[in-house]
Structure 1
C-alpha cells in the first residue's frame, strides 16, 4: 500500500484524508522523502524535504505520520472517533491533525503543548502553512511574522525553505505560499482564549 493508504487505514471512520494531503503524500513518497522511525513502532513517515536536508539547521520541523490524539491516557472514545494527528510539527511534539466539528465539518487543527486550536477548514491552506518554512509551525505564536522573523525572534537558524514542496503546490494546485501565516487568514488564539470550538469540545470531554 502507498503511504496515503496506510494513513487512511489509521484514521477513524468519521474522517477522510483530503485529496490535497494525499497528493502531497504521493509526491513526497515518489521523491524518496520517506523514512522509518527507529525509536518507536510508529512506522513510516514523510518529510517535506529530501531526507538528507530534513535534519539540517534551519529545516522546518514537519513530519507526516498518522497517530491518535496527543493527550494523556485514558482518552474518551468520543475524541478518538473524531480526531487524528496527521503530522508532528514542532520539536516538543506539537501536532497537526484532522477534527470533525459539531457541525460535521472536518477541520485542520493544531495541538501546541497539548492545547488545540482550529487552523482552517481548507486542507490547501494547511499545506501552504506547512510549506512556509516556519521552524516549528505548531509552536508559532504570531502569524504576522515571516518564517525568517519568527526564527530570529526564537533564536533559530535561518529557515531552509522546502523549495520542492513549494514547486509541487504551485504546479499541482496553482498556489504559492505567502510570506506570513496571517496572509492565509490564519489566526492563533491565546492560551486562555476558550472561544475556539476545538478547545470547547475538548474541555467538554476532557475537562481535566
Structure 2
C-alpha cells in the first residue's frame, strides 16, 4: 500500500498515525479513491470516493494528504512564528477540509496526547472529536465540507447531505459504529471565531501561543 505507507512514514515519532487512519488510507488505495495532487508533484490525495464523486458532491469534499516535516514546519510557523521549537513535531496538517483553506491536523498537546484539531482560514480553532474514530464518524454524517455548515451550524443536519455511501458502509462494517445526524453529537460545545474564552484545550493553546508570538 504505497499511499498509506507514504502517509504513515511522514508522521513524527511522537505522533504516530492512528490505526484507524492507516486502515482508512488502505481502503482508499484499494478502491482507487486517490487522485494526483496538483500542488505537490508525486503525491496523491486520499478521497472518500472517486474524483467524480467529489465534483458531483456525492461525497464530503475532504482531501487527505499528510504534510512533510518541512511543510508542517512552514504551516506551523505561519500560525505561531518561531515560538514553538520543532513545531513540525507538535502540529501536522493531514487534510484540506474546506475550499476556504481550512485544515485538519494532528496536534500533540502539552500532556503528550495526540488530538485531532481544526484550523480555520477565518480563525476558528477547535478539537474535532475526542478520538480518531470520532473524527471518522464526523466525516460520515455527510456535510459537504468539514467547515462551513458542519462547524457553523453543528446543531443542524447537513442542508444538502452528501451520500458518502461507500465510506459509510465501510466505516460501519469495519468498526461497528453508528453515524449521528448532526455534528454537535460528536463535537459537543466548541468555540466560534468571536469568543474571548473557551474550555476547548486547542483554542486555549492557540491563543496562549499566539500571545507569546505577538510579545516576542
TM range (shorter): 0.7 to 0.9
TM-score by length of 1: 0.85
Aligned residues: 199
Relative distance call for 1:111 and 1:85 in structure 2 (3 A) is same
Q: Quote the Cα distance in structure 1 between the aligned partners of 2:101 and 2:42.
A: 14
Structure 1: gaps (5+ residues):
149-157
Offset of residue 112 of structure 1: 1.4
1:198 matches 2:202: yes
From 60, 75, 78, the equivalent of 1:72 is: 78
Q: Quote the Cα distance in structure 2 between the aligned partners of 1:128 and 1:26.
A: 17
Relative distance call for 1:65 and 1:172 in structure 2 (3 A) is same
Q: Quote the Cα distance in structure 2 between the aligned partners of 1:17 and 1:189.
A: 26
Whether the 8 Å CA contact 2:129–2:186 is kept in 1: the answer is: no
Partner of 1:50: 50
Offset of residue 172 of structure 1: 0.4
Relative distance call for 1:72 and 1:185 in structure 2 (3 A) is closer
Q: Quote the Cα distance in structure 1 between the aligned partners of 2:96 and 2:158.
A: 18
Q: Quote the Cα distance in structure 1 between the aligned partners of 2:3 and 2:40.
A: 18
Partner of 1:147: 158
Instruction: Tell which deviates more after alignment, 70-79 or 9-18.
Output: 70-79
Partner of 2:142: 133
1:118 matches 2:127: yes
What secondary structure sits across from 1:161 in the alignment?
A: coil
Offset of residue 42 of structure 1: 7.3
Offset of residue 71 of structure 1: 5.7
Q: Quote the Cα distance in structure 2 between the aligned partners of 1:72 and 1:146.
A: 33
Partner of 1:153: none
1:167 matches 2:178: no
Higher helix share: 2
Offset of residue 57 of structure 1: 4.0
Q: Quote the Cα distance in structure 2 between the aligned partners of 1:34 and 1:9.
A: 18
What secondary structure sits across from 2:128 in the alignment?
A: strand
From 184, 192, 199, the equivalent of 1:182 is: 184
Partner of 2:103: 95
Relative distance call for 1:29 and 1:66 in structure 2 (3 A) is same
Instruction: Tell which deviates more after alignment, 117-126 or 197-206.
Output: 197-206
Offset of residue 38 of structure 1: 1.9
Matches within 5 A, 1:8-23: 8-23=8-23
Whether the 8 Å CA contact 2:47–2:63 is kept in 1: the answer is: yes
Higher strand share: 1
Q: Quote the Cα distance in structure 2 between the aligned partners of 1:131 and 1:189.
A: 22
Whether the 8 Å CA contact 1:143–1:187 is kept in 2: the answer is: no
